[in-house]
Every structure is written in C-alpha cells, then in structure tokens.
Amino acid sequence: DVVMTQSPLYLPVTLGQPASISCRSSQSLVHSDGNTYLNWFQQSPGQSPRRLIYKISNRDSGVPDRFSGSGSGTDFTLKISRVEAEDVGVYYCMQGTQWYTFGQGTKLEIK
Amino acid sequence: QVQLQQWGAGLLKPSETLSLTCTVYGGSFSDNQWSWIRQPPGKGLEWIGEINHSGNTNYNSALKGRVTISVDTSKNQFSLKLNSVTAADTAVYYCVRGPNPEAHDFDYWDQRTLVTVSS
C-alpha cells in the first residue's frame, strides 16, 4: 500500500499569515498514464470532506485562489497564502495512483 | 447538483453485519463510479471499495473478505455490507461519487453517518 505522511499534524496560524502543509508518499505517485494523482481535501468541523485540489495543483470549482498545490514524485505541498477564519479544519492529502489512500490529516487552527 | 443520501442501522453489536444504502440524486448514475469511505472517531480516512453501474467492484485489501458493495441502477442506489463487525469498525461512513477518471478522487460526499459497534 502507498503510505501518505503529512506534516505537521497540528498547524496553529495567525489570521492573514501563510500556511504550508507537506505530504510525502512512500512511492512515486506518477501513474503509468503520466499523470500524478495527488489530491487535497478540506474537512471543516462537523462536515464531510470537500475536494480542494486535484492532480497536484488544479483547484476545484469555487476554491479560493489563496489555496495552491505543488510538488512532484513523492513530495507535495498545500499552501494557503493568507489564512482566513473559514480555513479552520483538517486537511488531507490523498493519492489515487495505486488505489486510494489518505494522509493522517493536518489540523489547522487559528492562533 | 449531485446529492447523496444514505441510511442504515447506526448501532450494531459485535459479529453483526453492517448494512448501508446510498441513493444518488442528480447527475448521471451510470456514468460514474461510486465508493464507500470511512473515518474512525478522531482518525483519518479509509477507502473501503468502489462499484460501477455494471456491478464491477474493487475493495480495500484490508477489508476484503468481509465487505460487499452492490448496486441497483433502477433506483440509483449502491449499498455496503460489512460482515462480522467489531469495535474497530466504529466509524463515520461516507458514500461518495468516485473515483472519477480525470483525477482518481472523490468529488461528492454525503453527510456524515456514524455507525457504532458496541455490546
């Protein structure tokens, strides 16, 4: 199984400041079709997960442009340029290259 | 707009069978894959398995042997059965659309449904 490891697991951030979450996979996420199926989800308190970003860097419809994704191979990053109160929640990376596995989640809170 | 709504027993005893059904409203049922994902309290997400409109399935190897996913295209429904449950199967269960062929991920999720296994 592909193991996804996120860091940090807890991320206190001041409003208006940037935030960054790292996600590493135990093996390359480059699929045989040439795509890299690394996606990011946001789970707000008491809510179901919501897709934010797919295939490393593509924002889903309605996702603010302060969210961005980057990376390649086994190392990926989700960045929030300026954290807002509504960004509180848990963020998960997920790989869809070899079946589907999720990271442990990173809990973002406001300082 | 796609909406998913599930129902099933929320409290089970050890060794019983978990049974959940999800109805899909909106979108094209036959053009998509459908999955079950679960989240134990305070823990991360685990993909359980997937099915398409033809009934072709794939399951998480960690649960294989205990899980069955089925489909009823006449009702736009898909179902999950998990046998011989234990406390470790206590989780919020989600029915979701996906994986989609473009991104191999899950773009529509239903509301949270907690299933508790306790004697």
Q: Is A97 near chain B, with CB under 8 Å?
A: yes
Question: Is there a contact between A55 and B103 if contact means CB atoms under 8 Å apart?
Answer: yes
DSSP string, B15-74: T--EEEEEEEESS-STTS-EEEEEE-TTS--EEEEEE-TT--EEE-TTTTTTEEEEEEGG
**Beta carbons of A37 and B103 less than 8 Å apart:** yes
Q: What is the 3-state secondary structure (H, E, C) of chain A?
A: CCCEEEECCEEEECCCCCEEEEEEECCCCECCCCCECEEEEEECCCCCCEEEEECCCEECCCCCCCEEEEEECCEEEEEECCCCHHHCEEEEEEECCCCCEECCCEEEEEC
| A60 inside 8 A of chain B by CB | yes
Who contacts B10 (Cβ-Cβ below 8 Å, separation ≥6)? B113, B114, B115, B116
- CA A53 – CA A79 distance, rounded (Å): 11
Residue B111 is nearest to which of A37, A48, A92, comparing CB atoms?
A48
Interface touch A39/B103, C-beta < 8 Å: yes
Contacts of B22 (CB under 8 A, 6+ apart): B4, B5, B6, B34, B36, B77, B78, B79, B80, B95, B110
**CA B50/CA B48 separation, integer angstroms:** 7
Q: Could you tell me if B119 and B49 are in contact, meaning their C-beta atoms sit under 8 angstroms apart? A: no
For residue range B47-103, list pLDDT tens digits in order. 999 999 999 999 999 997 899 999 999 999 999 999 999 999 999 999 999 999 888
Instruction: Name the residue in chain A with its Cα closest to that of B60.
Output: A99
Mind listing the pLDDT tens digit for each residue in A39-70? 999 999 989 999 999 999 999 999 999 999 99
Interchain contact, A54 vs B99, CB within 8 Å: no
Q: Does B60 touch chain A (CB under 8 A)?
A: yes
Task: Tell me the count of A-B CB pairs closer than 8 A.
Answer: 57
A48/B110 Cβ within 8 A:
yes
Chain B CB within 8 Å of residue A51 CB: yes
Could you tell me the pLDDT band of residue B113, with boundaries at 50, 70 and 90? confident
User: Who among B35, B104, B112 is closest to A37 (CB)?
Assistant: B104
Res B112 pLDDT > 90:
no
Q: Does A5 touch chain B (CB under 8 A)?
A: no
Does A78 score more than 80 pLDDT?
Answer: yes
Q: Which residues contact A36 (CB under 8 A, 6 or more apart)?
A: A29, A30, A55, A56, A72, A73, A97
Looking at residue B21, its pLDDT comes to 97
At A29, which amino acid appears? Answer: L
pLDDT of residue A2: 96
What are the tokens at A108? Answer: 């973002």
